[in-house]
Amino acid sequence: MLTVKNIHQYYGGSHILRDVSFEARLGKVTVLLGRNGVGKTTLLKSLMGLVPIKSGSIEFDGAPIHKRTPYERARAGMGFVPQGREIFARLTVEENLRMGLAYKSGSTPVPPELYELFPVLKQMLNRRGGDLSGGQQQQLAIARALAPKPKLLILDEPTEGIQPSIIKDIGRVIRMLADRGDMAIVLCEQYYDFAQELADDYLVMERGEVIARGLGKDMEAQGVRQLVAI
Ligand SMILES: Nc1ncnc2c1ncn2[C@@H]1O[C@H](COP(=O)(O)OP(=O)(O)OP(=O)(O)O)[C@@H](O)[C@H]1O
Ligand SMILES: [Mg+2]
């Protein structure tokens, strides 16, 4: 579904991504692990086109997309849940969900299924985004990304600062979405246990480079917990 080949990225003179390559498979969760500041968010933003890559290629759903704008990538079926959630605080829950449909035609309804995945959102449709708890905002950010029915869902540290019961709910939703088989999921995480539970494939980054990779079921045996321990 997604094939990333040899990408390099710089902020000014700093070389942030060094020859990163990986694939994300349909129906699978690909987990990207790494400590603070190793370049995880930069990689995800590069996938979405929010920062330009210097060299390399990104192929999505059979077509090269690395020269396309973020808007075009979203239209092509890439959904992004940014680190820190970026909920519109003054808009209601329903309006936030509609923002996820901004590039669809005006009459496209919010898929009712989102309220089954995240029942709390249905109860809070008219609440302002900024009045939700961190966990509820995270669920809203995921639902907003799912609203246009993406083929690839990219999540940047969805467990950051969130209470355990909601982390469990989010994990269940991610597993269910992958198991349906029509979506690829790329999940960036620092919370090892959550990552390991969900990973079909994993990658570990350090200073902008992929230093380890393999199948999720082998993570523990391959010592990934130690690699990302703080
Ligand atoms: N806009 C920017 N301009 C310059 N340097 C940046 C910018 N954004 C990030 N960096 C630097 O690039 C490196 C990678 O940052 P990035 O945010 O991708 O890391 P990360 O792995 O997502 O970290 P975290 O786990 O804390 O979210 C860091 O050294 C960071 O300081
Ligand atoms: Mg980050």
What's the token pair of residue 130? 């900024």
Residues 6+ apart with CB under 8 A from 82: 141, 156
Tens of pLDDT, residues 32-88: 999 999 999 999 999 999 998 989 999 999 999 999 999 999 999 999 999 999 999
Helices (H), ranges, 124-223 = 134-146, 164-179, 192-198
Q: Is 38 in the pocket of ligand 1 (CB under 6 A)?
A: yes
Q: What are the counts of helices (DSSP H) followed by strands (DSSP E) for the chain?
A: 9, 10
pLDDT at 106: 75
CATH topology assigned to domain 2-86+147-228:
Rossmann fold (3.40.50)
Q: Which is more confident, 228 or 30?
A: 30
In whole angstroms, give the CA distance from residue 51 to residue 73: 13
pLDDT at 103: 79
User: Which residue reads 């246009």 in tokens?
Assistant: 148
pLDDT at 107: 78
- Does the structure show a pLDDT above 90 at 108? no
Strands 2-11 and 184-189 turn out to be unpaired
Q: Once rounded to an integer, what is the mean pLDDT over residues 126-140?
A: 96
pLDDT at 167: 96
In whole angstroms, give the CA distance from residue 86 to residue 70: 16
Q: 84 forms bridges with which residues in the sheet?
A: none
- Does the structure show a pLDDT above 80 at 105? no
pLDDT at 16: 95
Q: Is 82 in the pocket of ligand 1 (CB under 6 A)?
A: no
Report yes or no: 210 and 56 within 8 Å, Cβ to Cβ.
Answer: no
User: Which residue reads 């995880």 in tokens?
Assistant: 40
Q: 32 forms bridges with which residues in the sheet?
A: 188, 203
What's the chain's length in residues? 230
pLDDT at 152: 98
Q: Whole-model pTM?
A: 0.95
In whole angstroms, give the CA distance from residue 122 to residue 114: 9
Give residue 36's identity as a one-letter amino acid code.
N
225 phi and psi angles, rounded to 5 deg = -55, -45
- Does the structure show a pLDDT above 80 at 230? no
What's the token pair of residue 132? 């939700």
Tens of pLDDT, residues 137-183: 999 999 999 999 999 999 999 999 999 999 999 999 999 999 999 99
pLDDT at 126: 95
In whole angstroms, give the CA distance from residue 168 to residue 30: 18
Q: Is 34 in the pocket of ligand 1 (CB under 6 A)?
A: yes
User: From the CA of 208, how far away is ligand 1's center (Å)?
Assistant: 10
User: From the CA of 41, how far away is ligand 2's center (Å)?
Assistant: 4
pLDDT at 94: 94
How does DSSP classify residue 190? S
Percent of the chain with pLDDT over 90: 92
Q: Pick from 35, 37, 36, 49: which is nearest to 7 by CA? A: 49
pLDDT at 109: 86
Tens of pLDDT, residues 49-59: 999 898 999 99
Q: Which is more confident, 105 or 129?
A: 129
Parse the chain into domains and list their residue ranges: 2-86+147-228
Report yes or no: 33 and 228 within 8 Å, Cβ to Cβ.
Answer: yes
Q: Which ligand lies nearest to the CA atom of residue 9 in the structure?
A: 1
pLDDT at 213: 97
pLDDT at 98: 93
User: Which residue reads 């994300």 in tokens?
Assistant: 24
In whole angstroms, give the CA distance from residue 81 to residue 17: 20
Q: Is 45 in the pocket of ligand 1 (CB under 6 A)?
A: no
